[in-house]
Amino acid sequence: MRNKDMAVFWDFDETLVYREGFFVGTLVRILEEYIPGSNVKIEDLRPHLKYEFPWLNPDKPHHELSDPEIWWSGIIATFQRAFEAVGIDKHKAKELARISRRRYIDPEGFKLYDDTVQALAYLHDRGWNQFILSNHVPELPQIVEGVGLGKFITMCISSANVGYEKPNPEIFRIALKLAGNPEIAWMVGDRMDADVKGAEAVDIKSILVRSPRAPGAANYAKSLMEAVYIIHPRDL
């Protein structure tokens, strides 16, 4: 039985899962597969991924991107320009850019940290409602299901679907409302700005994980299990 008065909001990338290179890494692997011998490296592509990704401007709402096709359109165009910049012809670059979207949202590309399932199961078994709250793609709920975490998660809240990016306070207010305005709420993530400061701006307690300890972090944990023991101390 879930306790509606207890909620934990988890960041996703680099908190629960990791992925080599994220967007740019995906593009490199696409080139390795479809154009063998291109020898394009991450450092070759990275300077060409110049797009105003929504999370780079969190103060600005982006409700105009609430449709997944619209959200992806600018990013796919950026992928195409990046491929062209490293010598891929326009027609092929367009094809590879669209493939890159499909490849990026494939759950196979995301890997769980060794302690992710243990941490989520620990809180799940003790009645906590758990949510993913992430600056992410529209397909985040399907990715979470695909990596096997759906059984622990009450709801996925992706910035792409709500129109606000962490640390904008509005995304946290939306998350609290969707969680039923719990009496006890925690945010766990690897970013001091997006996760810790964003949550604390609306009085959600926070824990910084995986990143180096930072000044101003009220709670810090090297691992997810350390974090869950802060939230719910070990049973005696």
Is residue 186 a contact partner of residue 205, using CB atoms and an 8 Å limit? Answer: yes
Task: Give the N- to C-terminal CA distance of the chain in Å, as an integer.
Answer: 21
Looking at the predicted structure, is the pLDDT value of residue 130 above 90? Answer: yes
What was the pLDDT predicted at 236?
42
153-191 pLDDT per residue, tens: 999 999 999 999 999 999 999 999 999 999 999 999 999
What's the pLDDT band for 1 if we cut at 50, 70, 90?
low
**CA–CA distance from 59 to each of 27, 54, 92, 170, 216 (Å)?**
28, 10, 36, 10, 21
62-113 pLDDT per residue, tens: 999 989 999 999 999 999 999 999 999 999 999 999 999 999 999 999 999 9
12-63 pLDDT per residue, tens: 999 999 999 999 999 999 999 999 988 999 999 999 987 778 888 899 999 9
Tokens linked to 137: 């793609």
